[in-house]
């Protein structure tokens, strides 16, 4: 409905165009009812104001996904929206709850994979992007929730993609309601597998489609109470029978004819077939083959499909015999017979084809000929046989061929239904109707008449449904509405089907009379419907008539269409089928899919407006729009309406009104009438949106003028200020130049004086410097000569010393090396001789068990002897060291005493000399001088002699000290030599001990072999004799004492039974303990510790049979529940226990072998290297009884585990993975509902943000509430981390959990962003970016130890959000986007974000069109890769670690100081768990 108001100069409008249907342009002149429009193509068009539609200039560049959201809901707006979306590969668009599917003519596998089905599973209709899966899901959910059957009506013209759409619907319904097959195939698989068979016999090439369905198909999927598919049925309607006999170029007949002609040679020979060109029913066109399709391969595929659907080989042969017979029937030509108005086969060729047809149909040749050439009329009195002329016989032949083919097709459908099976107890079903659209050709047959009649009925059903939806929308919004008129085609339906008096009824009546002709039938129609507005008569025809129905004029029927008497039954039967179909559809809730073919050349990326608009008209889409326009075509939510038109009344926004009141006041202020205010939306009449937009454009225009005026004022003032500033600056520069010139003259005069002064000084300095340098050069030369002479002398002296030192060192070192080599050679030779002798002895001794035992005794004696010698050496060494220490102490004491005496003697001598000197000085001069001198001289001599004696004594003491030191050095050398011998003895003892252990191990292996042999000897039957190996001497010796061995075994079982009872009690105590939550000790799980220590102490890892592992696994399995605390507790314990097993156990070389195989295991590498605590009594010292493992797990040697222990390790690994997966999935379940709220920011209208200061606090609270959902996610993550840390879950596993959780967040947010256009906005990007900042802050606080690289998992959503909030998108090149901004995102993902982007905040645009075009080119080049085409991410739910990863990532665990729980501590059997007392 065009609007006649508010079209002014400058308005953007749509005008009709002959080539493109509609073209947009700008109004340049308005002259009454005529306007002049400058189109975007450059033309000037004059149009009527009533034929012009307004254009929405603010429509999103990528279109809208639901056309009810269009501001102007009219024909050009719908066409433009579809074209825009098709250009962006968005082939699906909603119109309310109607899905429009535009055929892309290319494969888009990413749109139909399993991951896409998972996205639409349970999603609200309209929440995600339009998709065929959304319609299927809505039908399935409605059936499950409401318990009512649903139907999906797929319509469109040939080539629009109806069949492919139906397949996708079936796939999704099979995905939702599929169940396991009882005999290998499910019901839905059988339905899908029936498609190739139906296509082979019901599809053909037409002008518009290479695989056009020439029949209507209604597939009923029956569901049980649980929503699972329980049965199915295929209903077919109106096969195009006329195609069997009549073709138009360049179409083909049904595929099966060409497939049979391309069959293997044996089949062609059997059916007497040949080239398709030789058959009349096939050579009416020049098209025999399809591009890219092999008829021979399709024949084999059809055969396989028939096998799958349950058609036996005999039945297949019958089907193809009928097909071949029809081809032979078509080649039967007739000529005039001998009688008047009779006919007969024309020639031998026709006779041959008649015989072949009779043979293939298994009937009499003459009977077939009579049936073709004669007509039998049965009356009450007699049977009349009438001959037919050649033309009538030909018509009879074609009628027979059509009837046979139709019956065969019906039989195939019935066979398929019987194979699939129906559920009689099913209460609900979902029907999928795949039926052709309106058809109109130059020559229309009865089939076209019935096709269009069917579509008229469906169109009436569609109109009623759309009208009902409109009423439901108005009722839901609680608005007042009046009756809305829509095009009702009931008069056309009455014209065709009404009884009596309808066209079909009149045709049936005419066919009852044998003399009826075309003329009589058409004359009857002319008389009956002469004044009917839907019926008209062509001027130049006597047998044609035209019906004006919904799709337009229906041209006249050809003459042959009503000639046959069969039409009464065909018309009535078809009418009954159609009535049954309409009753089925009326009893179900309908869903509509309108398929559209964008072009007639079947090529991608071509959108023909004229072709599409015609299909939209015929498909009822525009009628649905007209119904909407008759009511309230424009509907806007309150916030959207205020955001767009709030500027028309700012005072309303500033007032304290709610959104509903504000919208009402705004509309009343603008004087609009007839609008309605619903509960959540504003409903506007047709034209009111254009009026509001015109007023809005006027306000914006006035505002723009004000802005322009202010800008021009600003520019003028800016120019004036700049000019004034320039003049001032010029004056300043000129005055500065004059001042600089004066300053330059003064500066030059001062510079000249300064230069003269400096030049004179320079000459004086130059002369002085030259003289000074000459003196320095002479002095330097003399000093250098003296220094060089001194250096030369010192260099020669040093060189001579170095040469002497090197030579002496070389001579000594050469002598030392020769002596050392000689000593080593002698030692090696001697040791080799001794070792070879010892080796020969050991080899001799190791040949038999007795020798081994003797060697063992000898080695034990030798070890004892060496131990005794070692102890003796230690005692001798200790005594020697003590004696040496005593001698040294005595010598040191005597030396100290002598030193003291010497010091005293020296002191006395000094004192005496001083006294003598003083006495001589103090004595007076006397006559008796000589005696005094003599006396003093004697004293001096005496003292001198004493001094000499003391020196002699000192020398003797020094000699004694030197001798003592020498003896001490000798003793020390002797001690060191003995120490070396002792170390050699110790190393030899170690070697002997190792040899002893190896021999003892070999002995134990031999004993185990002997025990196995004894057991075999016990169980062997004495009547079977001896075989192979049992004939050896060892087995013969073992067979004799069988009774004695049995007695010994019984005697050994008694203490063994008591030991087993005690072990069972200990196991019960352990199981009872670990069933309780015994917590942690120092961050280490107590349960894992006591389990490992107990199993280690009991040597359960080495046991061939034990049930303790199964009991532990059962306890773990029964303790697991959905509680996260319990899961975290057991994850900590199981991972720790698995770590201990991984680092302690090793696979046994004989594990899992049979006893016969295990006999030879001791000779293998693992048998020779076998180690364990059973080899020596000292092995028990490594158990936990005395607090072993203080040094951690590295202090233990690995245990050779048996099969039960290895199985226990595998089961424990499975439980670690299971518990990890449960914890991860629990967290996913908790945050999944929040993620749906976090991807889209809550809508806040502009009105709520600008209503004055009174709302400032409320706005702040609203802004705080925006981030509340993200904070809830952060809270959940923190609570989980708190639980995991409280249970001491290894940080490695915590990091893996959060890495996968963040990957899940990334996948969910990113996929939702790509599937929901409302999320790809600027404001939404800011909202998600703020939420991601909350997550980043949480990762920082949680530390890298527990979070690891989880933040990096959000790379897709981070880069996508970063791209959304960029302001200058049009300036970014493709290279910048793909390499700098979004290197992680694929081209498909960037393309989808770029095309879906819209800015609801600042009005910014997406990337440049050339960038979009480049993306499309890259996508087309890579379109064959299904993985690269997929733009959605997959969630990885696998286990991201292995046992080796756990072993490498977790630290050593010290189990020595873990306190056992009281229940275990009180049991004396568990004393080995108690910590070791220091």
pLDDT digits (tens, 9 = 90+) for 414-463: 988 888 888 888 878 899 888 766 666 666 667 677 777 887 887 777 77
* Per annotation, catalytic residue among 3, 149, 210, 213: 213
Q: So what's the pLDDT on residue 1260?
A: 53
Query: Is 60 exceeded by the pLDDT of residue 1193?
Result: no
Query: Is 90 exceeded by the pLDDT of residue 777?
Result: yes
Annotated catalytic, 312? Answer: no
Q: So what's the pLDDT on residue 1050?
A: 54
| Residue 498 CB coordination number (10 Å) | 14
pLDDT one-digit tens code per residue, 677-726: 888 888 887 667 777 877 887 888 888 889 999 999 999 999 999 999 99
pLDDT one-digit tens code per residue, 192-216: 778 889 889 998 888 777 888 888 8
Helix or strand or coil: residue 1268?
helix
Query: Is 50 exceeded by the pLDDT of residue 552?
Result: no
* Per annotation, catalytic residue among 149, 186, 212, 1162: 212
Residue 664 makes CB contacts below 8 A (sequence gap 6+) with 677
Q: So what's the pLDDT on residue 969?
A: 80
pTM, full prediction: 0.60
Radius of gyration, alpha carbons of the chain: 55
In b/e form, how buried is each residue of 305-340, taking b as 16+ CB within 10 angstroms? bbebbbbeeeeeebbbbbbbbbbbbbbbbbeebeee
State phi, psi for 1210 to the nearest 5 degrees. -65, -40
Q: So what's the pLDDT on residue 702?
A: 86
Query: Is 70 exceeded by the pLDDT of residue 405?
Result: yes
CA dihedral 1430, 1433, 1439, 1443 (to 10 degrees): 80
User: Are residues 282 and 254 in contact, defined by beta-carbon separation less than 8 angstroms?
Assistant: no
Annotated catalytic, 439? Answer: yes
Highest-scoring range by mean pLDDT, 582-591, 739-748, 1189-1198, 1230-1239? 739-748
Q: Which residue from 616, 656, 483, 780 is spatially nearest to 75, judged by alpha carbons?
A: 616
Q: So what's the pLDDT on residue 449?
A: 77
Query: Is 80 exceeded by the pLDDT of residue 1140?
Result: yes
Q: What is the mean pLDDT of residues 1041-1046?
A: 43
- Max Cα separation, the chain? 214
Query: Is 80 exceeded by the pLDDT of residue 631?
Result: no
* Per annotation, catalytic residue among 158, 194, 489, 1089: 158
Give 106's Cβ-side CA count (13 Å radius): 20
* Per annotation, catalytic residue among 63, 161, 437, 631: 437
Query: Is 80 exceeded by the pLDDT of residue 1467?
Result: no
* Per annotation, catalytic residue among 129, 163, 236, 1414: 163
Report the alpha-carbon distance of residue 718 to residue 725 in Å, rounded: 10
State phi, psi for 515 to the nearest 5 degrees. -95, 15
Query: Is 70 exceeded by the pLDDT of residue 1177?
Result: no
Q: How does the average pLDDT of the chain come out, rounded?
A: 79
* Residue 941 CA, distance from chain mean position: 115
Q: Which residue has the higher pLDDT, 725 or 1438?
A: 725
Q: So what's the pLDDT on residue 1424?
A: 54
Report the alpha-carbon distance of residue 649 to residue 669 in Å, rounded: 8
Q: So what's the pLDDT on residue 1055?
A: 60
Query: Is 90 exceeded by the pLDDT of residue 1263?
Result: no
Annotated catalytic, 212? Answer: yes
**Six-digit token string for 1050:** 């019984």
* Per annotation, catalytic residue among 159, 502, 571, 1325: 159
Q: Which residue from 93, 172, 108 is spatially nearest to 137, judged by alpha carbons?
A: 172
Residue ranges of the alpha helices (H) in 1267-1321? 1268-1286, 1291-1315
Report the alpha-carbon distance of residue 1448 to residue 1432 in Å, rounded: 35
In b/e form, how buried is each residue of 360-383, taking b as 16+ CB within 10 angstroms? bbeeeeeebbebbbbbeeeeeeee
Using DSSP bridges, classify how beta strands 428-436 and 150-156 pair: parallel, antiparallel or unpaired: parallel
Residue 487, by phi and psi: left (phi above 0), alpha (psi -120 to 50) or beta?
A: beta
Annotated catalytic, 1028? Answer: no
Report the alpha-carbon distance of residue 643 to residue 176 in Å, rounded: 41
Annotated catalytic, 209? Answer: yes
* Per annotation, catalytic residue among 203, 209, 522, 588: 209
Q: What is the mean pLDDT of residues 520-537?
A: 76
Q: Which residue has the higher pLDDT, 758 or 945?
A: 758
CA angle 433, 439, 445 (to 5 degrees): 110
As a whole-number percent, the residues of the chain with pLDDT over 70 amount to 82
Q: Which residue has the higher pLDDT, 71 or 417?
A: 417
Query: Is 80 exceeded by the pLDDT of residue 1044?
Result: no
pLDDT one-digit tens code per residue, 252-277: 999 999 999 999 989 888 888 888 88
Q: Which residue from 735, 748, 155 is spatially nearest to 434, judged by alpha carbons?
A: 155
Query: Is 70 exceeded by the pLDDT of residue 1415?
Result: yes
Report the alpha-carbon distance of residue 203 to residue 252 in Å, rounded: 10
- Decide: residue 16, CB within 10 A, 0-12 exposed, 13-18 middle, 19+ buried: middle
Helix or strand or coil: residue 486?
coil
Q: So what's the pLDDT on residue 191?
A: 76
Long-range contacts of 909-913 (CB under 8 A, 24+ apart): 909/943, 909/946, 909/947, 912/939, 912/943, 913/943
Q: So what's the pLDDT on residue 613?
A: 86
Q: So what's the pLDDT on residue 1001?
A: 64
Q: So what's the pLDDT on residue 611?
A: 86
* Per annotation, catalytic residue among 193, 199, 439, 456: 439
How sure is the predictor about 380, in pLDDT bands with cuts at 50, 70 and 90?
confident
Q: So what's the pLDDT on residue 849?
A: 64
Query: Is 60 exceeded by the pLDDT of residue 1185?
Result: no
Annotated catalytic, 818? Answer: no
Q: What is the mean pLDDT of residues 156-185?
A: 76
* Residue 283 CA, distance from chain mean position: 53
As a whole-number percent, the residues of the chain with pLDDT over 90 amount to 17
24-33, 155-164, 1013-1022, 1454-1463: least confidently modelled range: 1013-1022
């Amino acid at each position: 409905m065009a609007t006649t108001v508010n079209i002014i100069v400058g308005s953007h409008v749509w005008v009709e165009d002959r080539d493109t249907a509609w073209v947009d342009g700008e109004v340049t002149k308005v002259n009454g009812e005529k306007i002049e429009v400058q189109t975007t193509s450059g033309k000037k068009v004059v149009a009527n104001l009533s034929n012009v539609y307004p254009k929405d200039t603010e429509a999103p560049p990528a279109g809208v996904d639901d056309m009810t959201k269009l501001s102007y809901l009219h024909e050009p707006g719908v066409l433009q929206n579809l074209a825009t979306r098709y250009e962006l590969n968005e082939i699906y668009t909603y119109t309310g709850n109607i899905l429009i599917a535009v055929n892309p003519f290319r494969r888009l596998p990413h749109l139909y994979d399993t991951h896409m089905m998972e996205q639409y599973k349970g999603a609200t209709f309209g929440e995600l992007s339009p998709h065929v899966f959304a319609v299927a899901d809505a039908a399935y959910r409605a059936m499950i929730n409401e318990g009512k059957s649903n139907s999906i009506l797929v319509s469109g013209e040939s080539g629009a993609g109806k069949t492919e759409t139906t397949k996708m619907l079936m796939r999704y319904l099979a995905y939702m309601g599929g169940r396991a097959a009882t005999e290998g195939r499910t019901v839905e698989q059988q339905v899908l597998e029936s498609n190739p068979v139906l296509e082979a016999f019901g599809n053909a090439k037409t002008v518009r489609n290479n695989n056009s369905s020439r029949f209507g198909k209604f597939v009923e999927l029956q569901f049980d109470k649980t929503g699972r598919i329980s049965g199915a049925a295929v209903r077919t309607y109106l096969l195009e029978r006329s195609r069997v006999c009549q073709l138009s170029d360049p179409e083909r007949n049904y595929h099966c004819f060409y497939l049979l002609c391309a069959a293997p040679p044996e089949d062609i020979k059997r059916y007497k077939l040949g080239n398709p060109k030789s058959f009349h029913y096939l050579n009416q066109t020049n098209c025999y083959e399809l591009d890219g399709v092999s008829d021979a391969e399709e024949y084999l595929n059809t055969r396989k499909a028939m096998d799958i659907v349950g058609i036996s080989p005999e039945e297949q042969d019958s089907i193809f015999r009928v097909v071949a017979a029809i081809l032979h029937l078509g080649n039967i030509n007739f000529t005039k017979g001998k009688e008047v108005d009779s006919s007969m086969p024309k020639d031998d060729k026709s006779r041959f084809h008649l015989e072949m047809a009779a043979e293939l149909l298994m009937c009499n040749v003459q009977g077939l000929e009579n049936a073709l050439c004669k007509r039998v009329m049965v009356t009450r009195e007699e049977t009349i046989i009438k001959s037919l002329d050649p033309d009538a016989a030909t018509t009879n032949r074609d009628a027979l061929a059509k009837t046979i083919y139709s019956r065969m097709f019906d039989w195939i459908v019935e066979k398929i239904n019987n194979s699939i099976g129906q559920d009689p107890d099913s209460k609900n079903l979902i029907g999928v109707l795949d039926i052709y659209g309106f058809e109109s050709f130059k020559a229309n047959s009865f089939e076209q008449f019935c096709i269009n009649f069917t579509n008229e009925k469906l169109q009436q059903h569609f109109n009623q449904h759309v009208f009902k939806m409109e009423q439901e929308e108005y009722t839901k919004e609680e608005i007042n509405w009046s009756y809305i008129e829509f095009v009702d085609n009931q008069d056309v339906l009455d014209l065709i089907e009404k009884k009596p008096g309808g066209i079909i009824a009149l045709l049936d009546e005419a066919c009852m009379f044998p003399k009826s002709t075309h003329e009589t039938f058409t004359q009857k129609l002319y008389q009956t419907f002469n004044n009917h507005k839907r019926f008209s008569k062509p001027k130049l025809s006597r047998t044609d008539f035209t019906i004006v129905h919904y799709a337009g004029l229906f041209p006249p029927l050809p003459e042959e269409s009503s000639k046959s008497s069969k039409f009464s039954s065909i018309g009535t039967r078809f009418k009954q089928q159609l009535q049954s179909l309409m009753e089925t559809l009326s009893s179900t809730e309908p869903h509509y899919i309108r398929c559209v073919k964008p072009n007639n050349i079947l090529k991608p990326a071509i959108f023909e407006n004229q072709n599409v608009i015609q299909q939209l008209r015929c498909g009822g889409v525009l009628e649905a729009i007209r119904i909407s326009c008759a009511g309230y075509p424009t509907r806007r939510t309150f916030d959207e309406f205020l955001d767009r038109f709030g500027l028309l009344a700012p005072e309303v926004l500033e007032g304290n009104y709610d959104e509903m009141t504000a919208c009402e006041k705004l509309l009343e202020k603008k004087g609009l009438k007839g609008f309605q205010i619903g509960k959540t939306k504003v409903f506007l009449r047709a034209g009111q949106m254009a009026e509001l937009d015109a007023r809005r454009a006027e306000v914006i225009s006035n505002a723009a003028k004000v802005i322009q005026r202010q800008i021009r004022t600003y520019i003028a003032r800016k120019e004036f200020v700049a000019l004034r500033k320039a003049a001032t600056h010029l004056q300043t520069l000129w005055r500065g130049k004059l001042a600089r010139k004066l300053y330059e003259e003064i500066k030059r005069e001062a510079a000249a004086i300064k230069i003269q002064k400096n030049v004179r000084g320079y000459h004086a300095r130059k002369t002085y410097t030259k003289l000074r340098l000459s003196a320095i050069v002479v002095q330097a030369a003399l000093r250098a000569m003296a220094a060089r002479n001194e250096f030369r002398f010192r260099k020669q002296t040093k060189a001579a010393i170095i040469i002497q030192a090197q030579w002496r060192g070389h001579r000594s070192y050469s002598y030392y090396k020769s002596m050392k080599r000689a000593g080593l050679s002698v030692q090696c030779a001697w040791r080799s001789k001794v070792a070879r002798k010892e080796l020969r002895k050991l080899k001799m001794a190791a040949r038999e068990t007795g020798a081994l035992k003797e060697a063992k005794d000898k080695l034990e004696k030798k070890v004892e002897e060496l131990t005794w010698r070692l102890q003796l050496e230690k005692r001798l060494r200790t005594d020697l060291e003590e004696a040496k220490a005593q001698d040294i102490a005595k010598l040191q004491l005597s030396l100290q005493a002598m030193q003291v005496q010497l010091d005293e003697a020296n002191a006395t001598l000094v004192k005496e000399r001083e006294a003598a000197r003083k006495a001589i000085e103090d004595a007076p001069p006397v006559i008796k001088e000589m005696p005094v001198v003599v006396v003093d001289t004697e004293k001096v001599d005496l003292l001198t002699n004493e001094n000499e004696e003391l020196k002699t004594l000192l020398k003797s003491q020094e000699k004694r000290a030197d001798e003592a030191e020498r003896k001490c050095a000798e003793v020390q050398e002797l001690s060191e030599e003995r120490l070396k011998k002792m170390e050699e003895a110790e190393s030899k003892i170690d070697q002997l001990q190792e040899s002893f252990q190896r021999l003892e191990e070999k002995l134990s292996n031999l004993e185990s072999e002997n025990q196995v042999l004894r057991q075999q000897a016990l169980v062997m039957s004495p009547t079977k004799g001896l075989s192979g190996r049992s004939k050896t001497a060892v087995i013969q010796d073992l067979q004799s004492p069988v009774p004695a061995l049995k007695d010994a075994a019984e005697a050994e079982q008694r203490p063994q039974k008591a030991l087993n009872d005690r072990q069972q009690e200990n196991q019960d105590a352990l199981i009872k303990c670990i069933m309780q939550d015994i917590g942690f000790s120092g961050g280490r799980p107590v349960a894992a510790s006591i389990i490992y220590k107990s199993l280690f102490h009991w040597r359960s890892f080495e046991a061939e049979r034990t049930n303790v592992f199964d009991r532990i696994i059962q306890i773990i399995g029964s303790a697991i529940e959905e509680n996260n605390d319990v899961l975290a507790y057991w994850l900590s314990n199981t991972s720790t226990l698995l770590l201990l097993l991984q680092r302690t156990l090793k696979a046994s070389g004989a594990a899992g072998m049979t006893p016969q195989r295990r006999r030879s295991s001791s000779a293998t590498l693992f048998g020779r290297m076998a180690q364990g605590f059973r080899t020596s009594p000292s092995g028990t010292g490594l158990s936990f009884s005395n607090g072993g493992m203080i040094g951690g797990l590295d202090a233990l040697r690995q245990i050779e585990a048996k099969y039960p222990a290895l199985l226990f390790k595998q089961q424990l690994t499975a439980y670690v993975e299971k518990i990890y997966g449960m914890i991860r999935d629990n967290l996913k379940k908790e945050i999944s509902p929040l993620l749906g709220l976090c991807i889209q920011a809550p809508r806040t209208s502009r009105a709520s943000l600008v209503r004055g200061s009174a709302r400032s606090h409320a706005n702040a609270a609203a802004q705080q509430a925006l981030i509340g959902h993200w904070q809830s996610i952060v809270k959940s993550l923190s609570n989980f981390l708190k639980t995991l840390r409280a249970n001491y879950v290894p940080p490695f596993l915590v990091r893996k959990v959060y890495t996968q959780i963040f990957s899940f967040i990334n996948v969910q947010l990113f996929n939702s962003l790509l599937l929901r256009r409302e999320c790809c906005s600027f404001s939404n990007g800011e909202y998600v970016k703020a939420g991601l900042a909350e997550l980043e802050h949480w990762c920082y606080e949680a530390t890298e130890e527990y979070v690891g690289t989880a933040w990096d998992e959000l790379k897709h959503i981070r880069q996508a959000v970063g791209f959304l909030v960029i302001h200058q998108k049009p300036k970014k090149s493709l290279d910048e986007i793909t390499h700098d901004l979004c290197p992680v995102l694929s081209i498909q993902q960037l393309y989808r974000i770029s095309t879906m982007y819209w800015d609801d905040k600042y009005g910014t645009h997406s990337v440049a069109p050339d960038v979009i075009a480049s993306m499309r080119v890259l996508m087309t080049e890579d379109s064959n890769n299904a993985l690269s085409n997929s733009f959605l991410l997959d969630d990885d739910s696998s286990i991201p670690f292995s046992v080796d990863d756990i072993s490498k990532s977790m630290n050593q665990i010290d189990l020595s100081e873990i306190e056992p729980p009281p229940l275990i501590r009180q049991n004396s059997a568990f004393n080995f768990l108690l910590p070791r007392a220091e």
